[in-house]
Structure 1
Amino acid sequence: MTRPDIPSDRFDYIVVGGGSAGCLLANRLSRDPATRVLLLEAGRKDNYPWIHIPVGYLYCIGNPRTDWLFKTEPDAGLNGRSLRYPRGKTLGGCSSINGMIYMRGQARDYDGWAAATGDSAWSWQNSLPDFKAHEDHYRLDKGADPQTGGNSRFSDMHGHGGEWRIEKQRLKWDILESFAEAAVEAGIPRSDDFNSGDNEGVGYFEVNQRSGWRWNTSKAFLRPARNRPNLSVWTECHVEKLALEGKRCTGVVLQRQGRRMEVRAEKEVILSAGAIGSPQILQLSGVGPAELLKRHGIEVAHDLPGVGENLQDHLQIRAVFKVGNAKTLNTLANSLFGKAMIGLEYALKRSGPMSMSPSQLGAFTRSDERQAHANLEYHVQPLSLDAFGEPLHSIPAFTASVCNLNPTSAGTVRIRSGKAVDAPAIAPNYLSTEEDRRIAADSIRQVRRIVSQPALAKYQPEEWKPGLQFQSDEDLAKLAGDIANTIFHPVGTTKMGRADDPLAVVDSRLRVRGIAGLRVVDAGIMPKITSGNTNAPTLMIAEKAAGWIIADARQRG
């Protein structure tokens, strides 16, 4: 939408990126009717039907309508493989194509950020209000179970009445129930809340859905603000670079409707283009490692070595087990009758497989007894396939994917040229440390230990992939490189840190070091990846940043 009463090239704030952080920021900053806000999104509106049907992620990932279609560089840790690297390209960003899992991580993540930045505002205790500020948790609904929603432990940890809806999943599978029992038999406790600061345990993931529909950030934060005359949302706008005057950012240069134009920001430009897009835009604007910029003929506006460094991601290893005497989605969805029943159930009840997130059952545990905290996350599914977007296997099977929550490997995002249309080179450097390779091997062994428990014996599980012939540390680490895949959690490429941190791109209030009038507000600012899925932390970051941006504007008068 474009408001005719707002000058088309001048705003108070320009937010670059209409994804998870950008939608929340646009909502918060435009609450003041005197503040003119422009939200820029390279993709189209989120009116593509498969965005809103939960299982539609299968049709959104790898689809140019909704995905940037990035690929990683050939990776030595993956034995030379490249991976598809989905990033949302539509209003709502990755919240329009992700797994919908609501997961904050662990309290120690945020206390670690506070220590790394020297700013206690990032501690778990001081971040909890920012999580709760936009939550609308189903267990706090009127009439919620008094054993859960009514107790003070739960209400102290969660919010209600906010824009971001959190619900339980609308399906059950016997094979998942048995896996949860097997995990308990293997020593993993049950958990009724993965978001209390300590997520160790096994239980069902909670999801960002409303009544069986995906709840993305466009619906949550832009819809309530759509009639505000001071908010403009421009889609299909490709930002080429930032407009800089000396050491100050004054706006952005973009392509819109076939026309190149500059749009000015009176107060601030806020980059929320994600851990891939934000460092790319900074580098194209002459803000980044001087040597890289010169190599591509870009004038160095500010030498900031950390831009595009410190890329961290969660790498999952998918173990597939054939089963007997069990209903799985493989068998149900591979028949015309089964597909018809799946569609009918969703049409009538908004439940069943079409309401599924990619992963239903979760578990957080330790790879070995030396770990002080849960350092592994399981995503367990009553299905199997070679990769998301590929056909389901024809045999009855389930998948137990496991990832190292705290990888020590780090990679880079670097421009390939001075052209904004050229995708950057994404090099995660997975499994590049001995610790990550050891944990990969240990995690495969732990999956086997859980599956060998009595609770799953009735299904006669047989390891199909990777296969029991792989046993040694060396074999298992190499195997991880052969079969592991990203779980789509890139962070850290514009990390925040202290002034003496050579790789810090932003300060603890997310202002870009050395460039006035510019912040980065997205997952790229994380110094360390969170111990879980990354969408909820990104919204917390945006909530906190919005408060600072508004407070700074008031101070300036």
Structure 2
Amino acid sequence: MATENFDYIIVGAGSAGCVLANRLTEDPNVTVLVLEAGPGDRSIFIHMPSAFAYPLANDKFNWFYHSEPEPFMNQRAMYCPRGRVLGGSSSINGMVYIRGHALDYDGWASHAGLEHWSYADCLPYFRKAETRAKGGDAYRGNDGPLHVSTGACKNPLYTAFIQAGQQAGYAYTEDMNGFRQEGLGPMDMTVHKGRRWSTAMAYLRPAMQRPNLHVRTRALVTRVVTESSNKAPKAVGVEVVNGSTLDVLRANREVILCGGAINSPQILQLSGIGNPDELRSLGLPVVAALPGVGENLQDHLETYVQYACKEPITLYSAMNPWAKLKIGVEWMLKGTGLGATNHFESGGFIRSDAGVKHPDLQYHFLPMAISYDGSAPASFHGFQAHVGPMRPTSKGFVKLKSANPKDAPRILFNYMGTEQDRKEMRAGVRLTREIFEQAAFDRFRGEAVSPTAKVQTDDEIDAHIREHAESALHPSCTCRMGTDDMAVTDGSGRVHGVSNLRVVDASIMPDVVSGNLNAPTIMLAEKMADIILGRPSLPRSDAPFFVHPAYQTAQR
């Protein structure tokens, strides 16, 4: 058993951990250790954007979690991949860059103690993080580490989806991360010069040139080490298994958990921080009684609305071995072609009903019929829209299965557990069909594949969702910020009742935002870095945002 000392120990080299590693080591007098349970990120399947299904669908770079049988989803164990590699989930995700809606952050700020998380407070940190290929403005950054590009939409199906949306009465939005989220348009991706631009590429690698940053891979943190005196417990380090070695590494200032919505609550519970009854039942000592640890699990569920395509222009043509070889060679030699995109180049946000103030349904359009992780490709030319509710009312949990750190935790999402969620998903299916039935798709549209045209009633759509819907891979909120009895962290990410211990990742979101979570998590870490270092916050933004003027009476 060895002991080493650092100022800050960051657990997890994911989207938040890489940001903090970079920002904290800007101070040359600070020493930082980053511990990552997984390996390095050198694989071609990580860096080639179109190959993201490979790391997403196996356990080499992925915790490969599955939920317990979901009670409202035909008892299916739902797949929950989480990055276990430098860059974390930013190294295995679909690279979609979406910030969420301004009103999401204003909703955060409505909670006591979270007033500084409003959209006006967060927008400057989105801008700080970003360099947008099209240039910056009041909404978009121009000199940040995270490179963001916009889909070229060369395949005519991308344009058809946007045009069909307009024909159905929805607006065109040039930038759904700018003034107006609501509408359909081109989508942004974290791709730079044809390569995935993960947080490992954007933040960690540049910082690794600094002598005060230390990074260790294949290092599994088993618990946070705490000490108690007459005062509250204090985090003083972590216990780490690296191969056959057990080390205790000490943190002079803070231990910062950046393990994400599954692993951060797991580590807290293994450290004796959580629901006291559940901890005692596993023989774990109670260091801090925080019943909210692992509760409030929120995620986005989505379903695919798939049609056959009458013209052979879809990505199905790229699925044979020779085509893949050609795509791979072009990408390796030039960084261009079909290998240089995530293929989610158009999409959008709409409202499911009149009275909904900001969009509650999201679209990712794909010119192919295939599952997200590539596990179920179609055997024909087709296209699909991924659609799902943005603010689910169904909530789940992350709990320990045992006191063994190597056992995966119990995960239950309770997807579609409320009538509100089922209502929004039904609306999503019906509104998507309406878009695909517009004139813009007449030359392309074949028969409805999934759900078939026979699926029409509420009960039939519900049954289809139970059998076919999948996670959009946005787990969050299990260590949420707040001041009430079920809150785990305060507005600065500090764990209630334990000094020198902080959580910075998607788990501290009080509510999931309306969109993908990589960009919000990076923003959150950028903002937290200033808080941790005691630097003044960036000046608040006064940029306005769009809310449909007739949202109370009009659905579009």
TM-score normalised to the size of structure 2? 0.93
Residue in 2 that maps onto 1:422: 407
2:120 equivalent to 1:120? no
Residue in 2 that maps onto 1:531: 514
Asked if structure 2 preserves the Cα contact closer than 8 Å seen for 1:451 and 1:461, the reply is no
Q: Output the amino acid matched with 2:423.
A: R
Q: Output the amino acid matched with 1:79.
A: N
Q: How does 1:142-221 map to 2 (within 5 A)?
A: 155-170=137-152, 172-196=154-178, 198-221=180-203
CA distance in 1, matches of 2:23, 2:367: 39
Give how far 1:285 is off: 0.5
Q: How does 1:445-460 map to 2 (within 5 A)?
A: 445-460=430-445
Give how far 1:168 is off: 1.9
CA distance in 1, matches of 2:180, 2:78: 31
Q: How does 1:65-464 map to 2 (within 5 A)?
A: 65-140=60-135, 155-170=137-152, 172-196=154-178, 198-246=180-228, 247-330=233-316, 332-347=317-332, 349-357=334-342, 359-464=344-449
Give how far 1:347 is off: 4.1
CA distance in 1, matches of 2:429, 2:211: 55
Q: Output the amino acid matched with 1:69.
A: F
Asked if structure 1 preserves the Cα contact closer than 8 Å seen for 2:101 and 2:358, the reply is no
**Which of 368-377 and 351-360 deviates more?**
351-360
Q: Residue 464 of structure 2: SS of its match in structure 1? A: helix
Q: Residue 389 of structure 1: SS of its match in structure 2? A: coil
CA distance in 2, matches of 1:472, 1:171: 34
CA distance in 1, matches of 2:309, 2:192: 33
Residue in 2 that maps onto 1:476: 461
Q: Output the amino acid matched with 1:327.
A: I
Q: Residue 79 of structure 1: SS of its match in structure 2? A: coil
Give how far 1:356 is off: 2.5
For structure 2, which runs of at least 5 residues remain unmatched after alignment? 537-556
Q: 1:139 to 1:11 in 2, by over 3 A?
A: same
**Which of 522-531 and 462-471 deviates more?**
462-471
Q: 1:248 to 1:347 in 2, by over 3 A?
A: closer
CA distance in 2, matches of 1:94, 1:354: 20
Asked if structure 1 preserves the Cα contact closer than 8 Å seen for 2:151 and 2:346, the reply is no
Q: Output the amino acid matched with 2:417.
A: S
CA distance in 2, matches of 1:307, 1:262: 24
CA distance in 2, matches of 1:438, 1:27: 43
**Which of 183-192 and 114-123 deviates more?**
114-123
CA distance in 1, matches of 2:287, 2:519: 33
CA distance in 2, matches of 1:548, 1:197: 27
CA distance in 1, matches of 2:372, 2:347: 19
Give how far 1:317 is off: 0.7
2:503 to 516, 520, 527: 520
Asked if structure 1 preserves the Cα contact closer than 8 Å seen for 2:3 and 2:248, the reply is no
Give how far 1:40 is off: 0.6
Give how far 1:353 is off: 2.3
2:25 to 30, 33, 45: 30
CA distance in 1, matches of 2:152, 2:365: 16
Give how far 1:387 is off: 5.0
Asked if structure 2 preserves the Cα contact closer than 8 Å seen for 1:239 and 1:254, the reply is yes
Asked if structure 2 preserves the Cα contact closer than 8 Å seen for 1:326 and 1:459, the reply is no
Q: Output the amino acid matched with 2:509.
A: M
CA distance in 1, matches of 2:131, 2:398: 35
Runs of 4+ in 1 over 4 A off after TM superposition: none
Residue in 2 that maps onto 1:16: 11
CA distance in 2, matches of 1:309, 1:272: 17
Q: 1:174 to 1:208 in 2, by over 3 A?
A: same
2:482 equivalent to 1:497? yes
> Deviations along 1:66-119, whole A, 9 cap, x unmatched?
101111111012111112211000000001001111111000011011112443
Q: 1:22 to 1:342 in 2, by over 3 A?
A: same
2:450 equivalent to 1:465? yes
Asked if structure 2 preserves the Cα contact closer than 8 Å seen for 1:241 and 1:282, the reply is yes
For structure 1, which runs of at least 5 residues remain unmatched after alignment? 1-6, 141-153
Give how far 1:171 is off: 5.3
Give how far 1:337 is off: 4.9
Alignment identity in percent?
A: 40
> Deviations along 1:449-484, whole A, 9 cap, x unmatched?
111111111123311111121211122122111110
Q: Output the amino acid matched with 1:541.
A: L
Asked if structure 2 preserves the Cα contact closer than 8 Å seen for 1:105 and 1:197, the reply is no
Q: Residue 77 of structure 2: SS of its match in structure 1? A: coil
Q: 1:37 to 1:364 in 2, by over 3 A?
A: same
CA distance in 2, matches of 1:447, 1:253: 50
CA RMSD of aligned residues (A): 1.6
**Which of 463-472 and 431-440 deviates more?**
463-472
Residue in 1 that maps onto 2:490: 507
Give how far 1:428 is off: 0.5
Q: Residue 130 of structure 1: SS of its match in structure 2? A: helix
CA distance in 2, matches of 1:299, 1:337: 58
CA distance in 1, matches of 2:463, 2:371: 18
Asked if structure 1 preserves the Cα contact closer than 8 Å seen for 2:113 and 2:490, the reply is no
CA distance in 1, matches of 2:325, 2:258: 41
Q: Output the amino acid matched with 1:85.
A: C
CA distance in 2, matches of 1:334, 1:37: 44
Give how far 1:519 is off: 0.6
CA distance in 2, matches of 1:257, 1:345: 39
CA distance in 2, matches of 1:43, 1:217: 15
Residue in 2 that maps onto 1:150: none
Residue in 2 that maps onto 1:3: none
CA distance in 2, matches of 1:346, 1:440: 38
Q: Residue 28 of structure 1: SS of its match in structure 2? A: helix
**Which of 463-472 and 336-345 deviates more?**
336-345
Asked if structure 1 preserves the Cα contact closer than 8 Å seen for 2:153 and 2:186, the reply is no
Q: Residue 116 of structure 1: SS of its match in structure 2? A: coil
Asked if structure 1 preserves the Cα contact closer than 8 Å seen for 2:152 and 2:345, the reply is no
**Which of 378-387 and 540-549 deviates more?**
378-387
Give how far 1:137 is off: 1.0
**Which of 185-194 and 458-467 deviates more?**
458-467
TM-score normalised to the size of structure 1? 0.93
Decide which structure has greater helix share.
1
Asked if structure 2 preserves the Cα contact closer than 8 Å seen for 1:175 and 1:326, the reply is no
- Give the paired residue count: 531
CA distance in 2, matches of 1:340, 1:278: 39
Q: 1:243 to 1:552 in 2, by over 3 A?
A: farther
Residue in 2 that maps onto 1:148: none
Q: Output the amino acid matched with 1:449.
A: E
